[in-house]
Amino acid sequence: MAQKTLMLLQKTLILPEDEPRLDLAVQRLTEVTRSELRGLFDHACVRLDGRVCPHPTASGRAGQTLEVTWEAGRRYKEKPKERQSREFLVAFEDRHLIVVNKRAGVLSVPTDRKEDDTLVHAVARHFSRGERITHRAWIVHRLDRDTSGLLVFARTEAIAAAIKDQFEARKPEREYVVIVAGHVPVDAGTLRSYLVTNDDLDQYSTLVPGEGKLAITHFKVVERLRGATLLTVNLETGRRNQIRVHFAERGHPVLGDARYKPAQAAHPGWREKRLALHARTLGFRHPVTGEALRLVAETPVCFAQFVRENR
């Protein structure tokens, strides 16, 4: 019997400015279905600048080379996924670290009450592949309970320390989507202050160096809505409650914020029991491979719904 010859197909694309999402670029190159598209990533058919890219949700940068290699006529089935946690979705994972998309309402770490249902517990259970925790998860940074979005955890203390060094050097890309009360008067700007913690554990700004930790927040207005403004925010520093404090002190608290200017943060169109704050993009360099990772967590549906209803 003659052996069937498989034909390898290969297509390459230099990523343009307007198409950083890898899944969309691969689908345009291959014209496969969404299910087969995920299968191509699962079977290591997709490379970015020569490195295998296993996650469709990843994003590239303009000028990077995207390469897809697959066999003609073969159906690349998506591999079965592990049961997803109630607390998070996996955005990226390897044997060194994991990037998760945290759900709103989940504590990142225990408070003084010593909760055992936090995100760090959930990631540790994920690492341990069961309810009994046998493998510690090392947290690198945090999000507020009622904020959703991307966080990175390490599998070892050394990996966590290496990534924390990047955060201390202000190297990671951290972009948030936020809806604040009122109309922000300028289209873009930078908010800068020194944050201090009071006796109630609230943060507030001082302009006096040495009396707090430097906090720098860059923002751009995406759209002004009825009684609110949709923004993208990039953090240069990552202090606790930084975005919430900076905008509240300027009369534009984050919608749904029960801590900082709650009366102003109430909006009749924001019916969610969460902050209108989402950590959408996280970019940093892999501490072992040196690869530039850039993950994007889709903005929650409730944000888009609010924008549609309040234009």
Same fold, 8-71 and 88-169: no
Structural domain boundaries in the chain: 8-71, 88-169, 174-280+302-309
Q: Which CATH superfamily is domain 8-71 in?
A: RNA-binding S4 domain (3.10.290.10)
- Tell me if 61 sits within 8 A of 15, measured CB to CB: yes
Active-site residue among 42, 144, 146, 257? 144
Q: Give the bridge partners for 139, in sequence order.
A: 153
CA angle at residue 300 from 164 to 293, to 5 degrees? Answer: 35
Is residue 18 scored above 90 in pLDDT? no
Yes or no: say if 212 and 142 are a contact pair by the CB < 8 Å rule.
Answer: no
Between these two residues, 298 and 112, which has the higher pLDDT value? Answer: 298
pLDDT at res. 80: 64
Query: Do the Cβ atoms of 120 and 108 come closer than 8 Å?
Result: yes
What pairing do the DSSP bridges indicate for beta strands 228-235 and 173-181? Answer: antiparallel
List, as own/partner pairs, every contact residues 30-37 make where C-beta atoms lie below 8 angstroms and the sequence separation is at least 24, other chains included: 30/68, 30/70, 32/76, 35/77, 35/78, 36/75, 36/76, 36/77, 36/78
Taking residues 221-234, report their average pLDDT: 98
What does DSSP assign to residue 195? E
Encoding tokens for residue 35? Answer: 């299910």
> Is 144 designated active site?
yes
d(CA 217, CA 208): 17
Element (H, E) at 303: helix 301-309
Domain 174-280+302-309: state its class.
Answer: alpha beta
Assigned CATH for 88-169? 3.30.2350.10
Q: Is the pLDDT of residue 19 over 80?
A: no
- Residue percentage of the chain with pLDDT more than 90: 63
